[in-house]
Amino acid sequence: MFDTRTLLICGALVGVTACEQQMPVEVIGAPQECAADSFQHLLWQPQDFLNGVTLPKGTRVIGPDTAVTMDYRSDRMNIAIGKLGRIERIYCG
């Protein structure tokens, strides 16, 4: 029969295995970065300036008072537009 210590060790291993299987792939591998640093030259340009720019896939252009999800994705670039219609912030997340 199993002793208490063996059952505790088996239970811990099952718990670790269950957690490991639920972890996103990006957490296990090297973190992916977005290209925000490459687009900092766009700061303070009018929002219409973005019409002539090819942005990375998944980029969010966030207007003033726009609701967005708060999930963090290191590979997603966000461009925040201020109330005056200018690009105020370019960041990953």
Q: What is the pLDDT along the chain (93 residues), one digit of tens a residue?
A: 556 666 556 555 555 444 444 444 444 555 678 999 999 999 999 999 999 999 999 999 999 999 999 999 999 999 999 999 999 999 999
Question: What span, in angstroms and rounded, lies between the C-alpha atoms of 46 and 12?
Answer: 56
**Residue 82 near residue 66 (C-beta atoms within 8 A):** no
- For residue 21, the model assigns a pLDDT of 47
Question: What span, in angstroms and rounded, lies between the C-alpha atoms of 61 and 47?
Answer: 9
Domain 30-92 part of CATH 3.30.10.10: yes
- For residue 77, the model assigns a pLDDT of 98
- For residue 31, the model assigns a pLDDT of 60
pTM of the model: 0.66
Question: What span, in angstroms and rounded, lies between the C-alpha atoms of 68 and 4?
Answer: 49
Question: What span, in angstroms and rounded, lies between the C-alpha atoms of 59 and 50?
Answer: 12
